[in-house]
Chains A and B, each alone.
Chain A
């Protein structure tokens, strides 16, 4: 498992989700802290392409051996891609939470929502 890290180029939601914003699209995933707290993921039930996600609202669940956990959307928009590879290898999220372990890509409904998210330093401080 990777060491704890919170990349500077991402934005963070207090429910332990990250967003990589590129123009009017963003990629979502869960933070190192979230995957470490859950333990090894064993089940990933991918959401549907084209469905809408709302900021601060759960859009899917992930499961470790021990527990199920909601995954919250850090921003609102329409799902334009899902990481289908995770259905076969959910443990990728533990191995590479900010890379191969991404969850979905979203076409943002309101890019100004990013203003309410945390930067890496603020998110890391919230875990202290």
Chain B
């Protein structure tokens, strides 16, 4: 076995993962569980009942102060003033040229008080970006990454499961509120990354093992990053570093819906010009027609590249996302992918690739 470097960070649930037989792997500087019982089994648990993920590697940036709205509206692509108190919103952080620095969820805790959840690999850069732009505003920017553990409880049974442990009603989708769950105070958010209903819990790291235990005892299956990836890809949620990068703008990534250029966010002019002219390439979802699994980096014949690819446990086929020329980015179009020397045909499908049965 390759020894794991000493410098990897561990979440407060590390011992729970070890005890549950997780395979732990390095991920964005953290030692994280990639699977417990098996990716397929964990994936299906989330689609059919409920699963709990340790996502404590994710970062948090708190912003508060009289000019917080003005600062966030410079940094975030979406219309921040539209987030109600106790609301949540998805957006991207862009550079001046429109390249995407990160995709984030922002929660409005109070009128002039926000919490933004960052990707682990981007957290330090995001924090520096927030701080460098905050100098002109009367706003406190506080790194809260070390102050929160984060658990995602996802699946059709997730809400009832958390509710049975909570002291009151849970927030609706895209909302958040302070609650006590399993006797411990936390921020409960109606968000997730699986395409299922569910909640994300932000809480004191020291309290997190007890909450994890209560969720597992109530029937939530521990789920690792492996199934987190297959779940998000079935519903075509972007993964930063694969489907999003500094070299790609939000319009070509299909994220124009979370960009409000009229607000004047950093990069809005570049985004507006791409939106007006139309992007040269677009991110599409595809399903492999026969056997085989495309992987990130595989070339699309005639131009284009696979950015995410895996085996879909629900569709039982290879699925993925790829950038292809805008002309070809239409549902029903056949593409051919060079999968390590074997050409495999795939069909571009409407997103999401997986839909819940009615």
Contacts and interface: CB of A to CB of B under 8 A. Distances in A.
A87 B290 CA distance: 12
Contacts of A45: 291-292, 342
B1 A127 contact: yes
Given A43-B291, A43-B293, A65 B340 contact: no
A65 B295 contact: no
Q: Looking at A61, A66, A87, which has the most chain B CB atoms within 10 Å of its CB?
A: A66
A43 B291 CA distance: 7
A67 to B, nearest CB: 8
Interface in A21-77: 39-40, 42-43, 45, 61, 63-66, 68
B1 A39 contact: no
Contact of B295 (A1, A68, A87, A127): A68
Nearest to A37: B23
B226 interface: yes
Contacts of A63: 293, 311
Interface in B304-358: 310-311, 313, 318, 340, 342
Contact of B226 (A42, A65, A87): A65
Contacts of B291: 43, 45, 87
Given A40-B40, A43-B311, A66 B293 contact: no
Contacts of B310: 65-66
Given A61-B340, A65-B311, A39 B39 contact: yes
B230 interface: yes
A20 B228 CA distance: 38
Interface residues of B, number: 21
A40 B293 CA distance: 14
A66 B27 CA distance: 14
Interface string B38-72: 11100100000000000000000000000000000
B35 interface: yes
Given A65-B39, A65-B311, A43 B292 contact: yes
Contacts of A127: 1
B141 interface: no
A42 B317 CA distance: 9
A66 B226 contact: yes
B244 interface: no
Interface in B245-290: none
B90 to A, nearest CB: 26
A66 B38 CA distance: 11
Contacts of B340: 61, 68
14 contacts: A39-B23, A39-B38, A39-B39, A40-B38, A40-B39, A43-B291, A45-B291, A63-B293, A64-B39, A65-B39, A65-B40, A65-B311, A65-B313, A66-B35
Closest 6 CB pairs of A and B: A65-B39, A42-B311, A65-B311, A40-B38, A66-B226, A63-B293
Interface of A: 1, 39-40, 42-43, 45, 61, 63-66, 68, 87, 127
